[in-house]
Structure 1
Amino acid sequence: MSVQHQEFRGRVARLQSKHASFSQGATARVQSDGLIVIEPRKIRSSISGKVFVLIIVSFLLFKAFLMAALGFDSYDERVARLAEGSAVEQLGAVIMQSDPVSVWAAQQIGPILR
């Protein structure tokens, strides 16, 4: 392949990637010298850090509530039965295992439930 053809393919690849980035929309801004610059719109995640932390805390509180309501022995027995199931159930058992934060929260919630 000739050098000119390689350069042409490089320019085409840059134009295709630029076009793909503009497919999500664009914003225009005026620089201090009056030049109008059009840039691709930045994609923002719909889940912020605060929402992610809230989901994790809610899940841990849910586990703590289950531990307090069922009792620690019964909860561990149910998780052990879950670990004997299919791959999805085994994944659920790993997620639902007792952790120090949930155990502490269950100990705090337990007297309130009884």
Structure 2
Amino acid sequence: MVDAATDFHKRMTRINKRHARLSHGYISIVGKDGLIITKPKRRTGGFPLRVISLMILVFFGFKVLLISQLGPQGYAERVQLLQTGTAVEQAGAYILKADPISSALADGIRKLSL
């Protein structure tokens, strides 16, 4: 009798866990034998890696375009002006300072436009 109660509680725990997963949405699939099976929807969300990487790529492209339009000297002057500002402007200057990759890409863009 004790084994039956233990089995019952284990089964109820398993059913409750499945019910909790299905409460967030489910997909019904008809199996090969004609039985309708419900599966929980895959969780979407979490860390938005795609959005963050796209934002970084857009920022980097903007920086390259600024360097190509202003020229290395003009861009360096503007970043230097930011370094003398407030803490937020200094942080922006640190992020916006020209790196070798962005300078090389800007040179390539400048050569294409001539």
CA drift at 1:67: 0.8
Q: TM-score, normalised by structure 2?
A: 0.57
Query: Superposition RMSD on alpha carbons, in Å?
Result: 3.9
Task: Name the counterpart of 2:3.
Answer: none
Task: Name the counterpart of 1:15.
Answer: 16
Task: Name the counterpart of 2:26.
Answer: 26
Does 2:87 correspond to 1:86?
A: yes
Q: Which has the larger radius of gyration?
A: 2
Partner amino acid, structure 1, of 2:86: G
Question: Where does structure 1 lack aligned partners over 5 or more consecutive residues?
Answer: none
Q: Counterparts of 1:38 and 1:110 in 2: how far apart (Å)? A: 58
CA drift at 1:23: 4.4
Q: Percent sequence identity over matched residues?
A: 31
Task: Name the counterpart of 2:72.
Answer: 72
Higher relative contact order (CA 8 A, sep 6+): 1
SS state at 1:71 partner: helix
Q: Between Structure 1 and Structure 2, how many residues are aligned?
A: 103
Which contiguous aligned blocks of 4+ residues in structure 1 show a shift greater than 4 angstroms? 51-57
Partner amino acid, structure 1, of 2:37: V
Q: TM-score, normalised by structure 1?
A: 0.57
